[in-house]
Amino acid sequence: MPEDNGELKAKTSNENSHTDFLPGRKDHLPLLFRAVECARNGIVITDPLRTDNPIIYANPAFSQLTGYGSEQIIGRNCRFLQRDDREQVAVKEVREAISKEMPITTILRNYKRNGALFWNELTISPVKDENGRVINFVGVQNDVTARIDSEKRVQEFYSVISHELRTPLSSIHGALTAIEDGTAGKVNAQVMRLVRIAVDNSTRLMRLINDILDWKKLEAGKFKLSLATFDPAQAVESAINELQATAEAKGIVLEPRIMTHHDLFADQDRIIQVLSNLTANAIKYSSPNSRVIITLEAPATDTIRFSVSDRGPGIASEQMDKLFVRFQQLDSSDTRKKGGSGLGLAICKAIVELHGGNIGVSSVVGEGSSFWFEIFG
């Protein structure tokens, strides 16, 4: 990016120099200079008023980061850090930002003096004089190689989950389901009992895998909604149909209370996903032979509200801050009775917020809980 420490000192002492860019009183300059010298981030200053926008200052951290001495840095354009790897999208973005005299933060591949690659999180800011003319650029460098490598390992992990686990698990689940529903032929009661246990556990494992993959998409900003107009009562019906067998096995009645058929513009599949998650949680924590009520109402002409209420143990006020947070569970001990990824409510919250809506819960210990979410528009 943006020569010699001595040159910078000389320029800051010259009131007519265009590099006297620091704000405030001039007797603050020594303090600010020492601060930049001591900063752990690499900092460079360039002079766009000279040919090729050369570096006129580099702090010690920049030398330590890149392995180049001051005499090998000053007077050069920052592109020397890219060597022959200059066809990066980030490099083009930097060029464009500088040409437009705009600030930018980006991550690009740079190379140290010994040729080692490092990922540089670079923030460039234009510095203007009292007339609004850009007289310098300040570049702050941060080595984020460890973070990038970690993200790559995580991505590889998700890829393994997606392709090496989910695909064969889907086949196993399909085969077990075929045995359970009789498609594959009759089996005796003992075998059927074992098959149903396997079906239940493979279903739970598939749900956990899907939660992890959904969360990865949300974190990466790749979780897209397919918006369309539909009757929200259909979402309630679908969620109940999906979980009816689970509820019946526990002696729980799923009771819909449809109080509106006002059309909703949203992603129907994702609304069903949220409702199903909240309903599955209500079933999980409800006592046998109780009811879970799924309510659909329109508290305002532009608002659709869904709620799932149970008569479970309720949630203590000091536990509320664990809700809707990823990898958090009310019982996080190794001996907890209720399984789960700890991602379900966090995913629900993210989906609702992607719709521009709100989600929350009201609960009384010993009386039950009611999880609700609202979609506007």
**How do residues 35-71 score in pLDDT, each as one tens digit?**
999 999 999 999 999 999 999 999 999 999 999 999 9
Torsions phi, psi for 294 (to 5 deg): -110, 115
pLDDT at 280: 93
pLDDT at 318: 84
What is the side-by-side strand order in the sheet with 134-143?
55-58, 42-46, 134-143, 117-128, 104-111
Residue 214 has pLDDT above 90, yes or no: no
Q: Are residues 168 and 124 in the same domain?
A: no
User: Which range, of 95-99, 185-189, 279-283, averages the lowest pLDDT?
Assistant: 185-189
Q: Are residues 62 and 199 in the same domain?
A: no
Percentage of the chain modeled with pLDDT above 90 = 61
Percentage of the chain modeled with pLDDT above 70 = 89
CATH code, domain carrying 92: 3.30.450.20
Q: Which of 102, 124, 143 is at the close of a domain?
A: 143
Q: Are residues 165 and 103 in the same domain?
A: no
Q: Are residues 282 and 216 in the same domain?
A: no
Q: Is 290 helix (H, G, I), strand (E, B) or coil?
A: coil
Residue range 112-121: average pLDDT? 97
User: Which range, of 28-32, 112-116, 294-298, 363-367, averages the lowest pLDDT?
Assistant: 28-32
pLDDT at 23: 53
Residue 307 has pLDDT above 70, yes or no: yes
Alpha-carbon distance of 368 to 107, in angstroms, equals: 49
Residue range 94-103: average pLDDT? 96
**Total domain count, the chain:** 3
Q: Are residues 275 and 207 in the same domain?
A: no
pLDDT at 24: 56
Domain that holds residue 179: 148-220
Q: Are residues 245 and 160 in the same domain?
A: no
Q: Are residues 352 and 233 in the same domain?
A: yes
Residue 132 has pLDDT above 50, yes or no: yes
Half-sphere exposure in the Cβ direction for 120 (13 Å, CA):
28
What is the CB neighbour count within 10 angstroms for residue 57? 29
Q: What element of type H or E holds 136? A: strand 134-143
Residue 196 has pLDDT above 90, yes or no: no
